[in-house]
């Protein structure tokens, strides 16, 4: 069985660079022969390059991201229903600007297990970075619904988007929840600013209602 697995990996390594280049328009090269590694070792290598890619990413696909993409593509091809591999691939494709494949991976992760919060969060991030805030809000709310109730980034982005939409009450709700998870002076200043705006809104609408009654 192990012999067959090695043959399978060799075949994957042979066709993957060409397939990836066609698929994403990015030339991937594998500098190391991974054909003799076990699945666990491949998983470890993929995680190593993934974390390194996030640290070194500067807007362009680099060697670390290339290695992570190749390794997770190999692992995902062996287990297409694995939500973790799909999420990692989607995140890398998102950073690489490969929108179609990023969304495809995130939706595949949701399709495999719709109870997980992370793929919803990643889709929220995808749309937020592209300033599609209405769509981003939808997926951040799904991430919150599916368990990210104490996840700082989800809470902060929900508050930030509600502020952009002028809903100061909702913005304060989520930003204060975010502050409980990770207090910081920048967030405190943002909350204070919104609280001031919220108070002005209340006074304005209260005065308007009184004037309408008096008429």
- List the CATH number of the domain containing 57: 1.25.40
pLDDT at position 83 is: 95
- Domain final position from 116, 146, 161: 116
Query: What does the pLDDT average to over 181-208?
Result: 82
- 187 and 200 within one domain: yes
Per residue in 116-157, pLDDT (tens digit) is 999 999 999 999 999 999 999 999 999 999 999 999 999 999
- Claim to verify: residue 124 and residue 108 sit in the same structural domain: no
* 189 CB-contact burial (10 Å; exposed 0-12 / middle 13-18 / buried 19+): exposed
Whether residue 102 sits in one domain with residue 23: yes
State the residue range of the domain holding 45. Answer: 1-116
| 102 and 131 inside one domain | no
Which one of 101, 116, 131 terminates a domain? 116
Give the per-residue pLDDT at 143: 98
- Which residue is listed with tokens 């640290």? 55
Residues 13, 94, single domain; the answer is yes
Cα 153–Cα 94–Cα 178 angle in degrees, nearest 5: 5
Burial class of residue 208 (count of CB atoms within 10 Å of its CB; 0-12, 13-18, 19+): exposed
* pLDDT per position as a tens digit, 50-89: 999 999 998 889 999 999 999 999 999 889 999 999 999 9
One domain, residues 193 and 205? yes
The number of distinct structural domains making up the chain is 2
Q: Are residues 24 and 107 in the same domain?
A: yes
146 & 213 share domain: yes
- Which CATH number characterizes residue 194's domain? 1.25.40.10
Say if CB 157 and CB 121 are below 8 A apart. no
Structure tokens that stand for 95 in this block: 């950073």
Same domain, 164 and 108: no
pLDDT at site 204: 54
Q: What is the pLDDT of residues 86-119, one digit of tens each?
A: 999 999 999 999 999 999 999 999 999 999 999 9
Select from 64, 83, 116 the last residue of a domain: 116
């Amino acid at each position: 069985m192990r012999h067959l697995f090695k043959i399978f990996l060799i075949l994957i390594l042979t066709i993957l660079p060409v397939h990836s280049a066609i698929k994403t328009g990015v030339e991937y090269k594998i500098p190391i022969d991974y054909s003799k590694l076990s699945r666990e070792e491949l998983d470890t290598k993929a995680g190593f390059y993934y974390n390194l890619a996030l640290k070194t990413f500067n807007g362009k696909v680099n060697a670390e991201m290339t290695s992570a993409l190749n390794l997770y593509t190999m692992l995902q091809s062996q287990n297409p229903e694995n939500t973790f591999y799909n999420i990692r691939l989607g995140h890398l494709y998102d950073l690489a600007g490969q929108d179609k494949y990023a969304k495809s991976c995130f939706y595949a992760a949701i399709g495999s297990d719709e109870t997980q919060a992370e793929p919803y969060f990643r889709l929220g991030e995808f749309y937020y970075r592209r300033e599609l805030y209405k769509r981003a809000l939808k997926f951040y709310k799904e991430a919150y619904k599916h368990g990210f109730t104490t996840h700082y980034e989800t809470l902060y982005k929900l508050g930030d988007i509600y502020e952009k939409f002028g809903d100061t009450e909702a913005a304060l709700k989520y930003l204060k929840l975010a502050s409980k998870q990770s207090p910081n002076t920048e967030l405190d200043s943002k909350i204070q600013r919104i609280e001031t705006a919220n108070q002005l809104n209340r006074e304005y609408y209260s005065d308007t209602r009184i004037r309408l009654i008096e008429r």
